[in-house]
Amino acid sequence: MPELVAFVLLLAITAYSTAGGVDFGAGIWDLLAGASGKSKEARALIDHAMAPVWEVNNVWLVLGIVVCWTGFPLLFQEAFLGLYPLFALALIGLILRGAFFAFRHIAEEPRQHRAADLVFGISSVLTPFFFAATLGAIASGNLASFSPMSIAFGLVSVAATAFSGATFLVGDARRYGAPEMLDYFRRRTIAAAAALIVTGTAALAVIAAQAPDLLKAMLAGKGLPFALVTMVLTPAVAFLVWRRIYVWYRVLAVGAVGSLVFAWAFAQSPYLIPGKLTIDQAIAPQPTQILLLIVTVVLVLVIVPSMALLYYLDQKGALESTY
């Protein structure tokens, strides 16, 4: 059963990396849209795509934290004792992002508006970077906030969020029938896929140098199937989008990012912190595990249909109104 709880934690992390990642990605493109040309249109599309769902995405993060401290109190303690600088930075990024997303809409003066866009965009880059850096620091086993591993993980995550963000914006551009924006984000999907492949390869080199055991498990052990999936899916999505074959490309992009997270997690299992803390050492007493699993089941039974309703109404246009 401890493994099941660990899996729930992994699912929360994965959900945040993918659903939240799409969101951060949109923010990154918002930043990169700059101030010229199509930026206004791109930004309007990004707003349009994000508005009703971003808070829901944020909940995955809270859920992950709660599962972590409830299910694996010692992991939580060690991670925060060691990595408080990264968590603090990620947190500050997150607040600035949330606040300035909501408030950029009230900035009427163009200069203020521009400043709000900028803060929103920059924090959309920094937040996933620092979050993923904590995972890198954990994966390295020595919980140093700023190490080659933490930076490598951070960079990969920025590329990954830009990638999944772009594919979803392609979808939104299609949905709203905006041919120019479609091409705009098609190009960006392909570029981001390339960036993901480059940073991913570089990260593997860093892992080879810093945590050879982890690399072995990723490329020859339990992480392999997932690593393979990412390696195949990333270029596949780029290909589909390039050839304008609009089937499955978003699901595949989510799959690519999700299995990247899985590859790391499975490679280091049964360790939560390699060489230091295993799942069995950190797990909470059994009744707590049971409650967590019950909560998870309820979550699936209640939240999934609710979420489906939200996305359904959203796609149907029932939530289009200005109120």
Partner 1 sequence: MTDAVWLASESALLPSRIQMAFTLAYHVLLVPLGVALPTLTLLMEGIGIFKKDETAIKIARRWSVVMAVQFAVGAVTGTILSFEFGILWPRMMGRFGAAIGLGFAIEGLAFFMEAIFIGIYLYGWNRLKPKVHFALGLVLPPVGLVGAFGVLAANAFMNTPGGITMEGDRLTNVDVIRALFTDALGYEFWHFVISIYMTAGFMVASIYAVAWLRGRRDHYQRLAFAVPFTFAALLAPIQLVVGDVSARALTDNQPAKFAALSLTWETRDHNPEVVLGLMGNAGQIYFGIVVPTVDSLLVGYSPATVVKGLNSFPEDTRPTIAEANIVHTAFDVMVGLGTIGALLALWHLWSMARRRRPPDNKWFYRLAALAGVGSYVAVEAGWVTTEVGRQPWIVYNLMRVSDAVTSAPAGFVWTMLGTLVVIYALIAFFFISLLLRLAQRWRKEDEGAPEVGVPYGPRPKAFEAGSA
Mask 57-76, x = binds ligand HEM (CB under 6 A)?
Answer: -xx--x--------------
CB of 39 to partner 1, least distance (A): 9
**Closer residue to partner 1 in complex, CB, 76/226:** 76
Residue type, 284: A
Structure tokens at 112: 């203020």
Mask 232-271, x = binds partner 1 (CB under 8 A)?
Answer: ----------------------------------------
**Closer residue to partner 1 in complex, CB, 87/153:** 87
Mask 84-113, x = binds partner 1 (CB under 8 A)?
Answer: xx-xx--xx-xxx-xx-xxx-xx-------
Rounded CA gap, 6 and 18, in Å? 18
CB of 65 to partner 1, least distance (A): 5
**Closer residue to ligand HEM in complex, CB, 63/170:** 63
Restricted to residues 240-269, the positions that interact with ligand HEM (CB under 6 A) are none
Mask 144-183, x = binds partner 1 (CB under 8 A)?
Answer: --------------------------------x-x-----
Rounded CA gap, 244 and 98, in Å? 33
CB atoms within 10 A of CB 273: 22
Q: Choose among partner 1, ligand HEM, none what residue 246 binds, the Cβ cut-off being 5 to 8 Å by kind.
A: none
Mask 278-307, x = binds partner 1 (CB under 8 A)?
Answer: ------xxxxx-xxx--x--xx--xx--xx
**Closer residue to partner 1 in complex, CB, 19/203:** 19
- The window from 28-36, 54-62, 220-228, 262-270 that contacts ligand HEM (CB under 6 A) reads 54-62
CB of 94 to partner 1, least distance (A): 7
Structure tokens at 141: 């086993």
Map the chain to HEC letters.
CHHHHHHHHHHHHHHHHHHHHHHHHHHHHHHHCCCCCCHHHHHHHHHHHHCCCHHHHHHHHHHHHHHHHHHCHHHHHHHHHHHHHHHHHHHHHHHHHHHHHHHCCCCCCHHHHHHHHHHHHHHHHHHHHHHHHHHHHHHCCCCCCCCHHHHHHHHHHHHHHHHHHHHHHHHHHHHCCCHHHHHHHHHHHHHHHHHHHHHHHHHHHHHHHHCHHHHHHHHHCCCHHHHHHHHHHHHHHHHHHHCCCCCCHHHHHHHHHHHHHHHHHHHHCCEEECCCEEHHHHCCCHHHHHHHHHHHHHHHHHHHHHHHHHHHHHHHCCCCCCC
Residue 277's beta-bridge partner residues? 273
Structure tokens at 282: 């950190």
Residue 278's beta-bridge partner residues? 271
Q: Choose among partner 1, ligand HEM, none what residue 81 binds, the Cβ cut-off being 5 to 8 Å by kind.
A: partner 1
Q: Which of 16, 24, 29, 76 touches partner 1 (CB under 8 A)?
A: 76
Q: Choose among partner 1, ligand HEM, none what residue 295 binds, the Cβ cut-off being 5 to 8 Å by kind.
A: partner 1
CB of 62 to ligand HEM, least distance (A): 4
Q: Which of 67, 133, 214, 260 touches partner 1 (CB under 8 A)?
A: 67
**Closer residue to ligand HEM in complex, CB, 123/140:** 123
Restricted to residues 16-45, the positions that interact with partner 1 (CB under 8 A) are 38, 40-41, 43-45
Binding site for ligand HEM (CB under 6 A): 58-59, 62
